[in-house]
Amino acid sequence: MPKYFQIGGNIADDENRDKARSMKLVVATEDDQIVNVEVDPGTEVENLKAILQAETDVPTGDQLLMAGGKVVQSGTLSGNGLGDNDVVMLIKKQAAGASAGAGASGGNPLAVNPSDGSAVNPGEYIRFLKGDAAQLSQIAQVLPELHGAVMRDDQAEFQKIMRVLHQKKMEQEARRKAEIDLLNADPFDMEAQRKIQEMIDQSNVNENYEMAMENTPEAFGSVVMLYVDMQVNGHPLKAFVDSGAQMTIMSLGCAQRLGLERLIDKRWQGVAKGVGTQKIIGRVHQAPIKVADQHLACAITVLEKEQDMDFLLGLDMLKRHQCCIDLEKNELRIGSAGVSLPFLGEADLPVHARPQNFEEQPPTPTPVGGGAGAGAAPDAAGGNDAKIAKLMELGFPKEQCEQALSAAGGNEEHAAAILFGG
């Protein structure tokens, strides 16, 4: 007998039982559209695709559904392991296939399938990671299970971990979208609108950061300053070439070491202004310098305080000697002398001019009981807390941010790169 003819039955109880059996799914599309669907666990996958076709205009035949890093097969939703409030990714089959094909043909070892985050060519990906010692070290600290799969050449485990990481990222994005939808429920709530704008701005920043990491990763590296070897008053010296400085300068200590102090004309005292201010002791009107095998005359302004750089070749001498900074050939051409000086490599720079790497950074003090070093620990910890807070604003959990910051040696930008790189 149909339930609506049942004598003595309670139609409201039947409806409540139907609601108890229903479940909600959050479906995220490639174009960041979020669709909330309420269905029965016994609903066929094809019926869910029909519902999504009406919501997203993606034909059922072109739909590829992903959940938990796996493709949702035909059958019932419960049979595929889907439960209440699960996140499902909806991907167009043509887009997924085209992207995977482009990655494979382009020869990019880091190409991944946008559908599930797995590597297009896991063998090449693993070989690439093994060839990058720095990145492999970071992976070992942040994702030891992924590091183990790489070292074992276990492609199956590697792909599994990649899919899980991709799924987590998609779930975080879906939750962020759901939060925006919740805040949008009251369009006249100014605080909610402010939070929405903050989230949108941060999303744009994250997207711009990821694009930069993918297209111009060299922009996140350190730049080696321009130094050349020369002799001043018969003494070898590494000169810093700075076309942004108006005059050629030298520290008083350097002038004393080179025997030029007696030639300083103190009538040329004054104040040098730049990022800060420095007192000018005077000027050496003509100091003998030697570049390659040529001898030149150089006017040098002497500053009172000791500088990080002993000798800076400024724009006055660069113009006087018709110098050309050739970055393509990595050399300084001195037109008046007809010679070229190669810019020094990183290993040949003065210690203070070398880019700081992880080994050269002082370790973060850790307070252990008391002792003389305990006083410096709160400042370091406070600095790390601020960095972790900024990293958490990118949408990553605190524990993961702490691990990434530790792997990056305290460098906030490198830690963000580790987090976005998975």
195 burial level (CB within 10 Å; 0-12, 13-18, 19+): middle
CA distances from 122 to 112, 118, 156, 420 (A): 9, 8, 9, 19
CA 45 vs. chain centroid, Å, equals 39
What is the pLDDT confidence band of residue 323, given thresholds at 50, 70 and 90? very high
Q: Which two tokens stand for residue 399?
A: 């524990």
Which string of DSSP letters, residue by residue, matches 155-221? HHHHHHHHHHHHHHHHHHHHHHHHHHHHHTTSTT-HHHHHHHHHHHHHHHHHHHHHHHHHH-GGGGS
Do 72 and 45 form a contact (C-beta atoms < 8 A)? yes
Q: What is the mean pLDDT of residues 15-40?
A: 74
Which residues make Cβ contacts (< 8 Å) with residue 349, sequence separation at least 6?
A: 224, 225, 227, 238
Higher pLDDT: 204 or 136? It is 204
Higher pLDDT: 83 or 379? It is 83
Residue 129 confidence (pLDDT): 79
Q: Which two tokens stand for residue 76?
A: 């019932």
Which residues make Cβ contacts (< 8 Å) with residue 148, sequence separation at least 6?
A: 154, 157
Helices 398-407 & 377-392 angle (0-180, nearest 10): 120
Q: Return the minimum-mean-pLDDT range out of 31-45, 46-60, 392-406.
A: 392-406
Amino acid occupying residue 313: L
Residue 417 confidence (pLDDT): 65
Whether residue 305 has pLDDT greater than 60 = yes
Active site residues: 242
Helices then strands, counting H and E runs in the chain, come out as 13, 15
Q: What is the pTM assigned to this prediction?
A: 0.42
Whether residue 286 has pLDDT greater than 80 = yes
Do 252 and 237 form a contact (C-beta atoms < 8 A)? no
Residue 342 confidence (pLDDT): 92
Q: What are the structural domains of the chain?
A: 3-94 (3.10.20.90), 108-220 (no CATH), 227-353 (2.40.70.10)
